[in-house]
Amino acid sequence: MSNKILVVGNWKMNPETVDEAKIIAQKTRKTAAELSNTEVVICPPFIFISDCSPRTPTSNAYMGAQTVSLFKEEEAHTGEISVYMLRDLGVEYVIVGHSEERAQGESDEDVSKKVNAIVEVGLNAIVCVGESVRDENGQYLETIKQQINSSLSKISLKNYKNVVIAYEPIWAIGATEAMKPEQICEMAIFVRKTFADVFGQNAAMKVKVLYGGSVNAENASDIIKIGNVDGLLVGRQSVNIQGFSELLKSVDV
């Protein structure tokens, strides 16, 4: 992973057709190629990954997946997708523990197994953590700490370089406003400190911490600068070709 700003586009269950998917991927890659200090990961639904992959690698753009199955081995697992399949398609990043997946039953234990499977095969895990509410007595900090500790509990020290932490307060996902950049800055420090407790100070200085939740072309630059994060996890705006292109250019300074 380079030192550039990392912007991850989580397409979720969009778009409806493969033709639209190919266009979004092509245009995003075209913008990415013009950036100097920013890299982009596009995470289409599984079914579009092959069609959205470039024939030859293009600069500043990588393929990602929105999740992976819990199972690694080739056994009887109807409907599941393994880390090996993703790697074979050229996927380099995999989102894990997104709140929408956690809401469908993905547990901390599942997240930790998936993170381990991802990094063991040489891919990068984008581990999502975030509180559902901000209570006054700071219980949300405990929630984040617990999510980070359990998500990373199975990985060895040598593999921490393949981990990215995406802090996404659930209340800011799909909302009208992102978290305030000043608050994001505090949370980024907290995430890094928690990471340091597991992997040490040196690793914590290097790990990429992203923010996600209602990021758009208007707020992205302040979130990076004032929020002091290494990148962004973008949902809705990542399938808005014009909006995403503006967002990417705005952070690429």
List active site positions: 98, 168
- Min dist CB 200 to ligand PGA, Å, is 28
243-253 as b/e: b if 16+ CB within 10 A:
bbbbbbbbbbe
Q: Which is nearer to ligand PGA, 72 or 102 (CB)?
A: 102
Contact 68, 117 (CB under 8 A): yes
The residue with its CB nearest to ligand PGA is 235
Q: Which stretch binds ligand PGA (CB under 6 A): 73-81, 132-140, 152-160, 209-217?
A: 209-217
- Min dist CB 226 to ligand PGA, Å, is 18
**In terms of Cα–Cα distance, which of 211, 141, 218 is closest to 182?**
211
CB atoms inside a 10 Å sphere around CB 162? 19
Q: What angle do CA 150, 128, 252 make, to 5 degrees?
A: 140
CB atoms inside a 10 Å sphere around CB 180? 15
DSSP-assigned beta bridge partners for residue 63: 42, 91
Q: Which is nearer to ligand PGA, 38 or 159 (CB)?
A: 38
- Min dist CB 176 to ligand PGA, Å, is 10
Q: Which is nearer to ligand PGA, 60 or 214 (CB)?
A: 214
106: contact with ligand PGA by CB under 6 A: no
Q: Considering only residues 214, 217, 219, 223, which one is a binding residue for ligand PGA as defined by CB under 6 A?
A: 214
Distance CA 11, CA 68 (A): 15
Tallying the residues shown for the chain, one arrives at: 253
Q: Considering only residues 106, 131, 168, 230, which one is a binding residue for ligand PGA as defined by CB under 6 A?
A: 168
212: contact with ligand PGA by CB under 6 A: yes
130: contact with ligand PGA by CB under 6 A: no
The site string for ligand PGA over 215-244 (x = CB under 6 A, - otherwise) reads: x-----------------xxxx--------
- Supply 163's token pair: 């981990």
10: contact with ligand PGA by CB under 6 A: yes
Q: Which is nearer to ligand PGA, 148 or 223 (CB)?
A: 223
173: contact with ligand PGA by CB under 6 A: yes
> Is the sign of the CA dihedral 216, 185, 180, 44 positive or negative?
positive
Beta strands in the chain (DSSP E): 5-10, 38-43, 61-65, 91-96, 124-129, 163-167, 208-212, 231-234
- Min dist CB 229 to ligand PGA, Å, is 14
Positions that interact with ligand PGA (CB under 6 A): 10, 168, 173-174, 212-215, 233-236
